[in-house]
Amino acid sequence: MSVVLDVQNLSIDYQDNGHPLHAVVDVSFQVQKGRSLGLVGESGCGKTTTMLSLMRLLPAEGRIVGGAIRYHDTDLLQLSEKAMQQYRWKHLAIVFQGAMNALNPVRTVGDQIAEALQKDKHIDRRKARIRIGELMEMVGIAPERAAQYPHQFSGGMRQRAMIAMALACEPDVLIADEPTTALDVMIQAQILELLKHLQEQLGLSVILVTHDLGVVAEVCDDVLVMYGGKTAEYGSVDTIFNEPVHPYTRRLLEAFPDVDRAGSVLTSIPGHPPPLDALPLGCRFEPRCPIRSDLCAKASPMLTEQQPDHFAACHHPEIQL
Ligand SMILES: Nc1ncnc2c1ncn2[C@@H]1O[C@H](COP(=O)(O)OP(=O)(O)OP(=O)(O)O)[C@@H](O)[C@H]1O
Ligand SMILES: [Mg+2]
């Protein structure tokens, strides 16, 4: 198996009136060729921040303060902005969270895909038209619909169009940030099916961001569970589902017990993740943790390898709930 993307000890701050907020701390993961990584956690745990940093598209107040993002052997964080443009969209592409609701209402879907094509290089009209048709077919939209406007597309079709745009410059890593949120369950399943199909057919590596472990179970090979900007647990889907160690992962699994309920809203974990300006001193999950001890309130647990390729950050991995 070959590693396409190797993220090591990534840390990201947001500046808030001169004070740094530590949104992402020391996060590491790898994405293999043709495989898919699920990035899971509740709202505010740093998923989108992490994904935007891979594209080097953080907002102005966001700053990568440590770590490396290696695409094959190139650390993207060492590149000039100009050099980064050879990677952004062409090697790594993203379907932004909520983007399907931000399509331009007064331009046809075909025009908007054409614009995505021009990120690579200028191509003439005839070639562009052929390529737009190919991209639409690839994501399961009839090419004739290129002349239609976003309001003539259903939610699922708009999300397919967003995926076509992300694929325009033939990336090998596709990041999909909550691609199924706000779609109804049947349509969600179709979008996940499409991502799986593209992964297999194009040899794409996919990073799928979601709140929902049920979604991960359907499509992903590996899972990174984030909590409060840190890695709670990281391993293969089999390991995370069958031998979860972190109490947060276990709670997430209880919240989504049934994979057929993919997409349901997470409601059953009492409490909320900590705000960035009031982080607990010790483990960030401690205030909500059913197995917390004095140690947990005092010291942040290190991420440690529980078994080969299975990592968790918990002081009490031996305690089963
Ligand atoms: N531009 C910003 N300035 C300051 N803080 C920010 C900014 N963007 C995000 N944050 C904070 O960073 C943390 C992580 O946010 P992020 O959007 O990455 O979370 P997320 O896991 O993607 O959440 P969701 O599931 O709601 O999309 C949150 O506490 C959020 O409030
Ligand atoms: Mg997000």
pLDDT tens, the chain, 321 aa long = 799 999 999 999 999 988 999 999 999 999 999 999 999 999 999 999 999 999 999 999 999 999 999 999 999 999 999 999 999 999 999 999 999 998 999 999 999 999 999 887 788 889 999 999 999 999 999 999 999 999 999 999 999 999 999 999 999 999 999 999 889 999 999 999 999 999 999 999 999 999 888 889 889 999 999 999 999 999 999 999 999 999 999 999 988 655 455 445 545 678 889 999 989 999 999 999 999 999 999 999 999 999 999 999 999 988 765
What are the contacts of 126-132 at 24+ separation with CB within 8 A?
Answer: 131/168
Please give all residues whose beta carbon lies within 6 A of any atom in ligand 1, as ranges.
14, 16, 21, 23, 41, 43-49, 59, 61-62, 97, 211, 276
Residue 114 lies in a domain: no
Report CA(45)–ligand 1 centroid distance (Å): 7
What are the contacts of 58-63 at 24+ separation with CB within 8 A?
Answer: 58/12, 61/14, 61/15, 61/16, 62/12, 62/13, 62/14, 62/23, 63/12, 63/13, 63/14, 63/15
pLDDT at 214: 86
DSSP label at 256? S
Ligand at shortest distance from the CA of 228:
1
Report CA(52)–ligand 2 centroid distance (Å): 10
Contact yes or no for 225/234 (Cβ under 8 A): yes
Q: How many domains does the chain have?
A: 1
pTM for this prediction: 0.94
Whichever domain contains 286, its CATH number is 3.40.50.300
Residue 237 lies in a domain: yes
Report CA(314)–ligand 2 centroid distance (Å): 24
Residue 298 lies in a domain: yes
Residue 135 lies in a domain: no
Query: What is the rounded distance in angstroms from the CA atom of residue 298 to the CA atom of residue 289?
Result: 14
Residue 127 lies in a domain: no
Domain that holds residue 62: 3-91+171-312
Report CA(271)–ligand 2 centroid distance (Å): 19
Report which protein residue has its CA nearest ligand 1's atom 3: 14
Count of alpha carbons within 13 Å of 143, Cβ hemisphere only? 11
Burial class (CB in 10 A: 0-12, 13-18, 19+), 250: middle
Residue 134 lies in a domain: no
pLDDT at 257: 54
Residue 166 lies in a domain: no
As residues whose CB is below 5 A from the ion ligand 2, the structure lists 47-48, 97
pLDDT at 133: 97
Report CA(272)–ligand 1 centroid distance (Å): 14
Residue 120 lies in a domain: no
Ligand 1 pocket test target in 13, 17, 47, 55 with most atoms within 8 Å of CB: 47
Ligand 1 pocket test target in 10, 25, 39, 49 with most atoms within 8 Å of CB: 49
Of ligand 1's listed atoms, the one at least distance from the Cα of 276 is 29
Count of alpha carbons within 13 Å of 38, Cβ hemisphere only? 26
User: How many C-beta atoms lie closer than 10 Å to residue 36's C-beta?
Assistant: 24
Report CA(144)–ligand 2 centroid distance (Å): 33
